[in-house]
A and B are shown apart, each in its own frame.
Chain A
Amino acid sequence: MSRDELVAVVADAAATNGAALFAGNGSLARSLSTLHDRDDCFYMVGSMGLCSAIAAGFANRSGAPVIALEGDGNTLMGLSGLPAVAKAASGALFVHVVADNGQCETTGGQMTLSGDVDFGALALAAGYDARATVTTVESLTAALAEALRGGRTLIHAEIEVGVSPKHPRPVLEPVAIAARFLAEAASRSWSRGGHA
C-alpha cells in the first residue's frame, strides 16, 4: 500500500462517516490537501508530534467522530502525549492512524526508530480501547470500518516508501485552514462554545 492509497482510503472513510480529519505535517498533509481536500480537514504545517493532541482536544469538546492521520515520526515525537490523548478522547469516537514507512520521507528519508516499536501496544498501554495492524488497502478499509463503530483505536498501517509522488504544501495559509475548519465545525454543530 502506497501513502497516496492509504490517504485515499482514510479520506473516504472520514467523508463516508462524517468524521473530522486531522493530518500531520509533511507528506500526509500534502497528499490529503492536494488529492482529497475538504472543509472538515485540518492540515498541520508544523508543530510536529501534536497531531493526535489537536485531534483529541477537538474530539473532547466537539463530540464529533475524529480521525487523526500522522506518520510514524510524528507519533514517536508525540509519544509522551499519548496518555493525555487517550484521556481526552475518552467517550469519543477516535481513530488514530499511524502511517509507518519507517522514515522521515519529507526531509529526505532518514530512518526513524519505528522498526522495533509496537504502536498498538503503546496505545493500549496509554488507555486506548483497541488496536489494529494493516498492510493492505483491503485490511485498512476493514480496520477503519471496525474502528469507526466506536471507542479509541490506533491503526498501525505499514506503507511502502518512494512509491507516491511528492505533493506541494497545502495551498491555504494556516490561518485560513483554521478559519475554514472552525466555520465547518460550527455549521455541523461540532462547536459547543461559540466564539465571542
Chain B
Amino acid sequence: MTAPERTVKNPLTTTGDLGIRDASAVEPPVAVRVEAELSPLAGTGLTFVTGVPDSVFKGLIAALERHDLDVRYLRATREDNAIGLAVGAYLAGERPLVFMESAGVGTALDALTSLAMSYGIPLVVLIAWAGYKARDVTHHNAIGAPLGQIIAALGLPVMTIAERDLDAPVLPATLAEAQARAHEYGGPSVILVVPAELEDGVGS
C-alpha cells in the first residue's frame, strides 16, 4: 500500500517556512497557462467588441474568437453595422470597442456621425491605418493618406500607436485612455494603428 500523495495547496496562498514564496509552486505548467489565457478585454475596462478584420488585428481577433465569440465579441459584416451593434450594446450598459481598417471609415462615416456622434455614444474605434503616409498600395493610399485629416475634421479625439503596441503590456492603459477621452468628448474616440511595415518610429 502506497502512501497517499500530499495535497497540493493553492500556490497563491501558500508560503514556505521562512515566508518566502516557492516560485516553482506558483508557476503553473505550460498547458495550464494556455488554458488560463485571459480574454483580450481583461483589464481594459472594455466589455464588448465588434468590427471588421484587418491583418494587424489577427492575434486580437483570434483571442476574441477563443474567449468571447457571440457573447462579448459579435461579428459584423460591414463597419456601419458594427457601429450599430456597438451602440445597441452600449444601451445595454456595455463599453464597446469597434475595430476596422482605413477603408471601413468610409463605410462607417454615416454611422459614426449620425448615430455615434449625434447620440453621444462613447465608443472606442480602433482603426488599422492602411495607406499611412501613402506608403501602401494605391487603394489603401487613397483613403489612408487623408485619413488623419478626415478624423481631425470630424473633431474626434485621436491617438496614434504602432502595430507592436497592440501586443505590448501598455495596451490596456491605451484603451483606458481612449475611453477616458471618449467620455470627456461625449462620443467616439479613435485609435489609429500604424502597420509595422509602414511605420517610422510611431508609438513606443
Interface residues, chain A, with chain B CB atoms under 8 Å away? 42, 44-50, 52-62, 64, 78, 80-81, 83-85, 87-88, 90, 174-175, 177-179, 181-182, 185-186, 190-196
Q: Which residues of B contact A179 (CB under 8 A)?
A: 120
Tell me the smallest distance from the CB of A46 to a CB of chain B, in Å: 3
CB of A84 within 8 A of CB of B93, answer: no
* A107 to B48 Cα, complex, angstroms: 35
Contact check, A58 vs B91: say whether CB atoms are below 8 A apart.
Answer: yes
Counting chain B CB atoms within 10 Å of each CB, the highest count among A49, A57, A64, A185 belongs to: A57
Q: Point out the residue from A44, A78, A175 that lies within 8 Å of B81, measured CB to CB.
A: A78
Contacts of A53 in B (CB 8 A): 76, 80-81, 84-85, 88
Q: What is the distance, in angstroms, from B149's C-beta to the closest C-beta of chain A?
A: 23
B100 to chain A, nearest CB (A): 14
Chain A facing B: main interface SS: helix
A46 contacts B86, C-beta separation under 8 Å: no
For residue B74, CB closer than 8 A to chain A, the reply is yes
- In the complex, whether B95 has a CB less than 8 A from a CB of chain A is yes
In contact, A47 and B120 (Cβ under 8 angstroms): no
Cβ of B143 within 8 Å of any chain A Cβ, yes or no, is no
- Contacts known (A57-B89, A61-B89); A193 close to B83, Cβ less than 8 A: no
Q: How far is the CA of A87 from the CA of B73 in the complex (A)?
A: 11
B74–A50 touching, CB < 8 Å: no
In the complex, the answer to whether A50 meets B83 with C-beta atoms within 8 Å is yes
Chain A residues lying within 8 Å of B85, measured Cβ to Cβ, are 53-54, 56-57, 60, 84, 88
Say yes or no: is B121 at the interface (Cβ < 8 Å to chain A): yes
Given contacts A84-B85, A175-B118, contact A192 B93 (CB under 8 A): yes
**In angstroms, how far is the closest chain A Cβ from the Cβ of B61?**
15
Q: How far is the CA of A29 from the CA of B81 in the complex (A)?
A: 19
